Amino acid sequence: MPLLEITTNLARSKIPHDFVKLTVDLVANLLGKPKKRVVVAIRPDCIMSHGGEDDVTAIVHLTSIGKIDRDMNKETSAALYPHLEQHLGIKGENIVTVFHDAKGENIANNGITFG
C-alpha cells in the first residue's frame, strides 16, 4: 500500500484539479502496485522554508511495503521530480524526498494489516 504524502507551501488554489489522480497513476506504475492500493495526500499552504528562502518548496514522504531500495529510489526520484515540477511548478532543488520501507505488519487497511 504505497502512501505518497506531499507537504508544501504552495497555495491550494495552485494545485491542478487532476494532480492527485495523475500522481496515483504515476506511483502505481513506478512501484508496480495496484492503483486501488495507492494513497496520495497533499498538504498545501504550509508555512515552511528550504534554506531560509521563500520559494515554493515541498517535503515528500513515500512509504511502501517493498519497492524501496537504492535502485528503486533513484528510478522513482527520476520520475517524481519532473512530475512535481511540471504540475506544481516546484523546482527539484526545493524538493526533499524521504523513502520509507514499511513492514506489512505496520500498515493496515479496512482493519486488516498487510503482514
**Sequence-ordered list of residues with C-beta below 8 angstroms from that of 101, at least 6 positions apart, any chain:** 64, 65, 66, 68, 69
* Residue pLDDT, tens place only, 9-27: 999 999 999 999 999 999 9
- Quickly name the fold that domain 2-113 has: Macrophage Migration Inhibitory Factor (3.30.429)
**Sequence-ordered list of residues with C-beta below 8 angstroms from that of 42, at least 6 positions apart, any chain:** 5, 6, 8, 15, 19, 20
* Residue pLDDT, tens place only, 67-82: 999 999 999 999 999 9
Task: State the DSSP code for 105.
Answer: G
Kindly report the pTM of this predicted structure. 0.96
2 carries an active-site annotation? yes
Cα torsion through 66, 68, 71, 76, rounded to 10: 110
* Residue pLDDT, tens place only, 30-64: 999 999 999 999 999 999 999 999 999 999 999 99
Q: Where are the domains of the chain?
A: 2-113
Q: Among residues 2, 34, 44, 82, which one is catalytic?
A: 2
